[in-house]
């Protein structure tokens, strides 16, 4: 099967994010204060070249990252080594995580599963739930909303899934699954507590430029 993220993104040096997303670090620090019963083991799915996990490891956390791109994993390992950090970066698929039940305190997704097909998404969320400890936290950022204007450049298949983009923000992404509050709650129904935050950016005429969702879900 063709690995889009390996052949079309990381091998071509697209989306080689080198700096952490500030909202990721800010939210993680807040969650650690709020959930002092949890330890410090965290998994980032779609960890790329390590832009989030490298600074997270500097917070004295036990860090694991998986990505389906061999190129991304190798680059992340090199960068962590240069920083003198021990981070477990590995090649893997979130649909079939190679970790035991109840292994992680935190699982992080920054705009990864929203870029997958519906069947992959559902399996992946079940796997994330499985590897989280009871009371563990799944927190995610930038899952795209159904009113995002650039979805019009893709071909809709079903259930707010889009592919074959001809222009716009998603032109270099193979698939987008878009959401609203109801579909997110339904997807995360195995979790005990869910907080969802919608982020909408508009222009001077109140037209939507971007619509995204962030969420925190407790097992």
pTM of the model: 0.93
**Domain range summary for the chain, segments of one domain joined by +:** 4-12+21-218
pLDDT digits (tens, 9 = 90+) for 157-202: 878 999 999 999 999 888 999 999 999 999 999 999 999 999 999 9
29-53 mean pLDDT: 96
Give the class (CATH, top level) of 4-12+21-218. Answer: alpha beta
* pLDDT value of position 1: 40
What CA dihedral angle connects 40, 197, 121 and 134, to 10 degrees? 40
Give the pLDDT confidence of 114-154 residue by residue, as tens digits. Answer: 999 888 999 999 999 999 999 999 999 999 999 999 999 99
Q: Which pLDDT belongs to residue 6?
A: 62
Residue 4 Cα distances to 12, 91, 122, 160, angstroms: 11, 14, 19, 21
Write down the mean pLDDT value for the chain. Answer: 92
Determine the average pLDDT of the residues in 74-102.
Answer: 95
- On the question of pLDDT at 204 being above 60, the answer is yes
């Amino acid at each position: 099967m063709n690995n889009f993220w390996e052949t079309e993104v990381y091998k071509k040096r697209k989306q080689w994010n080198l700096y952490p997303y500030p909202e990721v670090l800010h939210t993680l620090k807040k969650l650690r204060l709020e959930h002092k019963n949890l330890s410090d083991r965290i998994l980032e799915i779609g960890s790329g070249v390590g832009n989030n996990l490298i600074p997270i490891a500097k917070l004295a956390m036990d860090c694991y990252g998986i990505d389906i791109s061999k190129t991304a994993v190798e680059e992340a390992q090199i960068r962590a080594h240069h920083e003198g950090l021990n981070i477990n970066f590995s090649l893997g698929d979130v649909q079939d995580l190679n970790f035991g039940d109840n292994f992680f305190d935190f699982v992080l997704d920054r705009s990864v599963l929203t870029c997958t097909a519906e069947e992959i998404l559902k399996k992946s969320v079940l796997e994330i739930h499985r590897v989280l400890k009871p009371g563990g936290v799944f927190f995610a950022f930038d899952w795209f909303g159904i009113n995002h204007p650039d979805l019009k450049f893709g071909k809709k298949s079903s259930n707010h899934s889009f592919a074959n983009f001809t222009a716009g923000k998603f032109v270099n992404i193979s698939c987008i699954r878009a959401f609203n509050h109801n579909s997110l709650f339904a997807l995360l129904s195995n979790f005990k507590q869910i907080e969802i935050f919608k982020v909408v950016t508009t222009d001077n005429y109140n037209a939507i430029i971007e619509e995204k969702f962030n969420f925190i879900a407790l097992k």
